[in-house]
Amino acid sequence: MRLSLHHRRAAIGIAAVGAMILGLGAATTAAAAVPEDGLVASYEFDLASGSSVPNEVAGSAFGDATVRNVQAADWTGSALTLRGGAKTSTGNWVELPDSLLAGKASATVVAEVKASQAMLNGFHFLWNIGNESSATEYFFASLNCASGRAPLVGIKSAGVERLVQSNSCGVTANQWVNVTSVVDGASGTASLYIDGVRVANGGVDRTPANIVDQSLNTIGRAPWPDPLFQGAISSFRVYDRALSAVEVAAGSDADAQAHATELQAQAQAILTALALADRETSSDIDLPTSGGKVTWSSSNPAVVAADGSVAAPLAGQPAVDVELTATAAIRGITATQSITVTVLPSSETAEQRATRLAELFVIPAVVESGTALPAAPAGTEVDVTSTSEGITVDETIVAAGDDAVEGQVAVEVTDAATGVAASRIFDVTVLPADTTTRLLAYSRVPTTVAQANNADVALSMHLALEDGDGWGPLNENYGIFFAKTSVAVPANGTSDSIIRSLRDPHLFTLEDGGYGLVATRTARGGGADGTQSSSVLFARSSDLRSYDEVGMVNLGVTSGVNEPAAVYDSASDRYVVTWTSDAGASMYTTFTDLADPATRGEVRRGAVSATAGAAGDGVPNYDSGNTLPIDAQTVEALEGRFGRIANTGVGELDGVEIEQGEELDAAALPKRAELSYDDGSSSSRVIAWDADSLAAVDTATPGTYEVTGSLKTTEYATPFADERADPSVFRYDWNGQEKFLMIATEDIYGGNINPQGGAHMPIRIADSIEDLSDEAVDAGRNVEIDLLRRGDTDADGGVMTGCFWAPEYHVIGGKLSILFMPCYNGTNGQPDMWTGRASIIQLKQDAQGNDLDPAVPANWTKAQKVLRSDGGILNPSQNISLDMTYLEDSGQSYYIWQQLGALFIAKMDPANPTRLTSEPVRILVPEYAWDNTIAEGPNVYARDGVLYLIYSGSTVGDTYTTGLATATAGEGVDLTSPAAWSKLNYPIQKSGVFNGDWQLGTGHGMWSHDEDDNLLYVFHARTDNNGLSGRDMFVRRVHWAADGLPVFDMEADEEVTPDNRTVSTTVTVTAVAAPELDVTGKITVRCVAGKVVQVLTVTNGEGVPVTVSASGAYGSKSFGAVAAGKSTSTSFTTRQISIADGSVTLTAAATVGGTPVTVTTAVTYPAANCG
């Protein structure tokens, strides 16, 4: 289709305006053409009045756009002013024709707009292809730069939303901007262009054709309750195909011409703000660039280059005048201003020149043996004149032996132009190559939230260890040092405007052996924050695991500080800081103390090779960084903190011994197996002994048997519970019975204020953790119960209509309690989260003090708000208070909760749980890009004298993260003092791959325990499971690393390696000793009538009667019962003159300890002769 004549006349008029600007000396681009192929609708908002805006596309099937609630003053003649306001207000917006992109697999939407600051700071839809409902489908663009957002294009269908977002804001309030959104169905991608430049690109599995209901297409009005768009619009175009990058740029250039006069004035304002003036110099000059918005050109680059480098005339030669021209450009519309620089002859001596050049040669204070000597500065030669014993230097610095060697290296730097030399002596520590590893410090190029590499994460310092020819990223290639807010977080909370990020980090060794870091600080998302023109961010660390941000260090320039680096120069006992100006000039200065600006030296030009960066081969999305050597001890500590921890062994189990015939009970076997890990930590798991293996032990037969079992490592369903956010699992002693309770926030489709079906507070109760899952509910093993529902009243009679957020179980004052936040209807008659208050309900007890059934809603008290000691609300500034948790330490009870986007704490008395007993104190604020603008969901666990407080930061959704703060436990520390708490600079848990699957937005976690007393981490993550888009519940076990920090993401094979999952022990069945009775016999011989007669005397040594009988070669006799301790005799007549030796068998029987015992023994006798 082709544009109508009306649009072409406007283009001709625009070209004429450009010509007039050219006549004033400001350059502009030639008038560009708007692409016409595939154009289905084009609207020019250049009317003087009316509410109908014609479609400029001749022959289009789509008609006029209609401005709703239009007022005469809305029209400027070149644009439509959009007044904004609440969605239900009389603010204006534009209704587009229905079905604009019905059935289209690809599309491009172009909007030339101005956005107010309010729009950049809040949620809105710039335009929408869809309908009145936000639940299932829409296609839109937004310029929101707050709440973790940046300009984006989004598409949603079947309830699943896909967002493709820029890495930074890149939009200025109240300034014309061209916003182009492209969906390419063929490639499965979406792109966003700002002013013709692509700023976002990502995969999407939906197209406009999936937006089935396109019955309310709009400009400036969202299907959500977002405010109407506030700003202005001058043109709007819709294509049924994906425009190319060239076409998008051409359309942006064409749209810019309509505002050429305004854009040129903005460009001129940039130059005016620089206050440029003529100047004289004999040295290099600092040319301001207003953060890269201004470029320079020179009439004589040989004398003054565009980067400010000056080649001054020699002494005695005349001065030279050079004209320098500054150019500022906005969307191709430029303004210029020229100044005259008078270059005076140089006064630098040859010795001064040699000394200056020698400053550029630095040997770092710590090097690895085999490291190349730094390159000589340009125009010089460097000779090593001496080294300490044990250190040799040729082309590399080498130390002999297996230990670090400390010594000196002396060099002479000769200026090739003059032949003058300067000497330098460096103190160095040379680490042995065999035990030294190079560490890479770097930032990344931002990609997407789905890869946990959005700008909030990518723009931080990452670390990687040397790994063969490449690098092994630590912390799953996530940031380890993040920049703090630009100012202290104010009392009313953190805002996007003070959140900061960093790029180009450079790690170096400090003089005291610690580590320093310099970097370029940026606004959140990577845009300039105003400091890059002159300063660097500086931080220190003693161990590379925790960091102290010192702050911004002014380098004394205004021409831009890019790729900053630093090195300690032991020859001068100063730190050399290097950088590149916006114009590309290599620059440096020195400091005695980087934290003290008064120690800064002169700013000079020149490159210091010792601060060169590194390539970062193989690191995904690597941007820039550098390396330094570290010893084996530091490597081990870094791997323990930021590497993966894995099981290496299982302890030998003690064997079990039982007597023959005894029953084998599995309870007698070892209950847990001790596990060891590669960081030096340990853990244990319950053993489930194999029933068949137990049955194979023959207890009737003495011997040694092997019994096998498996370690119990329950794999919980993922997700554990769908659309259940802020989950809490509580192990509960219900009147002597162990029960497990679960509670969570309803989060269907992410709608948790007034969810579909009405707000409610669901709980589940079971005998095991697994039976709390959705799988158990689906299988009929459990039933979810609503303790509260929309319309229930609180203790004050207020009607609770929504939210029921972040419920947690606790036992407070001996009563099972739930802390949560209900909300009430706002002024619009709908649930309003800002009416929410931290509240409590408690389980009732019977007259004997037994807990009633927690599954019965009537057994709980009415909800009561938690108030200050004077009865006032917790948050008088914003009203809302939420995410309350409870803890006890050293006999004192506390509440911790979220308000004003931060964590507050106060003391309380469990006997009166609705009142604080001290004033609320703010103890933790979100101050990094990873926990931006909010800290919430606190939960505390005490272990080994430490309180571990986990909390959640960043916007609820795919970017949610878990932070950690610690305090001393059990020593009476006042936990209401902010100084009592120490916070990690980086998240303890974040989005990442777990057991092979991505989990995004992991947060709002809670400590819990399972049936075997293993510590659990119960949390939610944002998923699209079952076609839903809310947050789902997950359960993992917690591991404690050797350095004392919790590990929340230990995978199954790391927790227990497959080879260690089966264990065994021995069961020894010992033979039972033959029963004995203390019965003895003695035979004497006498001769009677020449014949041998034997006399047998039997003695009963037992304490009970014993029945005895005797049997031998000469007969058998029975003694009957021989009394305890008595003896009796009998005789045997042999009728023989002589007898051979032999024996008589005694048989004794008695009941001992209730058990019949029979024993036999032989009584011997010698040969006898009566002849």
Give the type of residue at 377: P
| Angle between helical axes of 245-257 and 260-274 (0-180°, round to 10) | 90
Residue 530 forms part of a structural domain: yes
Entry pTM: 0.84
Three-state DSSP class for residue 345: coil
Q: Give the start-end residues of each E strand in 134-249.
A: 138-142, 152-157, 160-165, 177-184, 189-194, 197-203, 217-219, 228-239
Rounded-to-integer distance, Cα 375 and Cα 420, Å:
19
Of the three residues 610, 635, 660, the one that is the final residue of a domain is 635
Rounded-to-integer distance, Cα 6 and Cα 53, Å:
12
CATH of the domain at 699: 2.60.40
Rounded-to-integer distance, Cα 93 and Cα 859, Å:
51
Taking a C-beta distance cutoff of 8 angstroms, is the pair 176, 263 a contact?
Answer: yes
CATH of the domain at 775: 2.115.10.20
C-alpha dihedral (1097, 1101, 1106, 1108), degrees to nearest 10:
-30
Mean pLDDT to the nearest integer, 623-646:
97
Q: Give the up-direction half-sphere exposure of residue 91: CA atoms within 13 A in the CB hemisphere.
A: 21
One domain for residues 498 and 599: yes
Mean pLDDT of the chain: 94
Nearest to 579 by CA among 602, 597, 596, 603: 603
Q: Supply 1107's token pair.
A: 């029945």
Q: Give the up-direction half-sphere exposure of residue 528: CA atoms within 13 A in the CB hemisphere.
A: 16
Residue 715 forms part of a structural domain: no
Residue 348 forms part of a structural domain: no
One domain for residues 443 and 488: yes
One domain for residues 283 and 238: no
CATH of the domain at 214: 2.60.120.200
pLDDT at residue 291, as a whole number: 84
Rounded-to-integer distance, Cα 927 and Cα 929, Å:
7
One domain for residues 823 and 749: yes
Rounded-to-integer distance, Cα 826 and Cα 660, Å:
77
Rounded-to-integer distance, Cα 449 and Cα 961, Å:
12
Q: Supply 1008's token pair.
A: 């819990």
One domain for residues 616 and 672: no
C-alpha dihedral (618, 622, 626, 630), degrees to nearest 10:
-50
Taking a C-beta distance cutoff of 8 angstroms, is the pair 962, 950 a contact?
Answer: yes
Rounded-to-integer distance, Cα 754 and Cα 125, Å:
21
One domain for residues 894 and 797: yes
Mean pLDDT to the nearest integer, 666-695:
97
Q: Is the peptide bond before 719 cis (omega within 30 degrees of 0)?
A: yes
Q: Is the pLDDT of residue 2 over 70?
A: no
The answer for residues whose C-beta is within 8 angstroms of residue 1022's C-beta and 6 or more apart is 750, 957, 958, 960, 1000, 1001, 1029, 1030, 1031, 1032
Taking a C-beta distance cutoff of 8 angstroms, is the pair 984, 949 a contact?
Answer: no
Residue 271 forms part of a structural domain: no
Q: How many residues does the chain have?
A: 1171
Share of the chain above pLDDT 70, in %: 97
One domain for residues 541 and 475: yes
- Give the residue numbers spanning the domain of 921: 724-1055
Q: Supply 25's token pair.
A: 């000396």
Rounded-to-integer distance, Cα 696 and Cα 707, Å:
8
Q: Read out DSSP for 985-1047? A: SS-SB-SEEETTEEEEEEEEEEEEE-TT--EEEEEEEE--GGG--SEEEEEEE-EE-TTS-EE
Residue 264 forms part of a structural domain: no
One domain for residues 26 and 112: yes
Taking a C-beta distance cutoff of 8 angstroms, is the pair 504, 562 a contact?
Answer: yes
At 236-272, the pLDDT tens digits run 999 999 999 999 999 999 999 999 999 999 999 999 9
Mean pLDDT to the nearest integer, 610-633:
96
Rounded-to-integer distance, Cα 783 and Cα 776, Å:
9
At 379-394, the pLDDT tens digits run 999 999 999 999 999 9
Q: Is the pLDDT of residue 408 over 70?
A: yes
579 vs 331: which has the higher pLDDT:
579
| Angle between helical axes of 260-274 and 5-23 (0-180°, round to 10) | 30
One domain for residues 425 and 444: no
Rounded-to-integer distance, Cα 961 and Cα 611, Å:
34
Q: Is the pLDDT of residue 165 over 80?
A: yes
One domain for residues 749 and 863: yes
Taking a C-beta distance cutoff of 8 angstroms, is the pair 534, 175 a contact?
Answer: no
pLDDT at residue 31, as a whole number: 56
Number of domains the chain is built from: 7
Number of H helices, E strands in the chain: 10, 76
Cα→Cα distances 302→289, 429, 1139, Å: 21, 43, 140
Q: Could you tell me the pLDDT band of residue 372, with boundaries at 50, 70 and 90? A: very high
Rounded-to-integer distance, Cα 26 and Cα 261, Å:
10
Q: Supply 1169's token pair.
A: 């002769």
Taking a C-beta distance cutoff of 8 angstroms, is the pair 931, 1029 a contact?
Answer: no
Of the three residues 216, 232, 258, the one that is the final residue of a domain is 258
Nearest to 116 by CA among 95, 87, 92, 143: 143
CA 5 to chain centre: 56
Q: Could you tell me the pLDDT band of residue 6, with boundaries at 50, 70 and 90? A: very low
Query: Maximum Cα–Cα distance for the chain, whole Å?
Result: 165
pLDDT at residue 242, as a whole number: 98
979-983, 1112-1116, 1121-1125 — which one is most confidently predicted on average?
Answer: 979-983
Residue 51 forms part of a structural domain: yes
Of the three residues 431, 463, 492, the one that is the final residue of a domain is 431
One domain for residues 690 and 630: no
Q: Is the dihedral of CA 264, 268, 269, 270 positive or negative?
A: positive
At 1037-1091, the pLDDT tens digits run 999 999 999 999 999 999 999 999 999 999 999 998 777 889 999 999 999 888 9
Q: Supply 903's token pair.
A: 């964590």
Residue 266 forms part of a structural domain: no
Rounded-to-integer distance, Cα 1079 and Cα 578, Å:
102
pLDDT at residue 218, as a whole number: 98
Rounded-to-integer distance, Cα 569 and Cα 425, Å:
10
One domain for residues 749 and 880: yes
Residue carrying the six token digits 């497990």: 740
* Region at 263 (left for phi over 0; alpha for psi -120 to 50; beta for the rest): alpha
| Angle between helical axes of 245-257 and 5-23 (0-180°, round to 10) | 70
Q: Is the pLDDT of residue 16 over 70?
A: no
The answer for residues whose C-beta is within 8 angstroms of residue 1003's C-beta and 6 or more apart is 937, 952, 953, 954, 956, 960, 961, 962, 989, 1019, 1020, 1021
At 943-964, the pLDDT tens digits run 999 999 999 998 788 899 999 9
Rounded-to-integer distance, Cα 538 and Cα 596, Å:
11
End-to-end CA distance of the chain: 150
At 877-894, the pLDDT tens digits run 999 999 999 999 999 999
Pairing assessment for the beta strands 279-281 and 333-343 based on DSSP bridges:
parallel
Rounded-to-integer distance, Cα 726 and Cα 1003, Å:
8
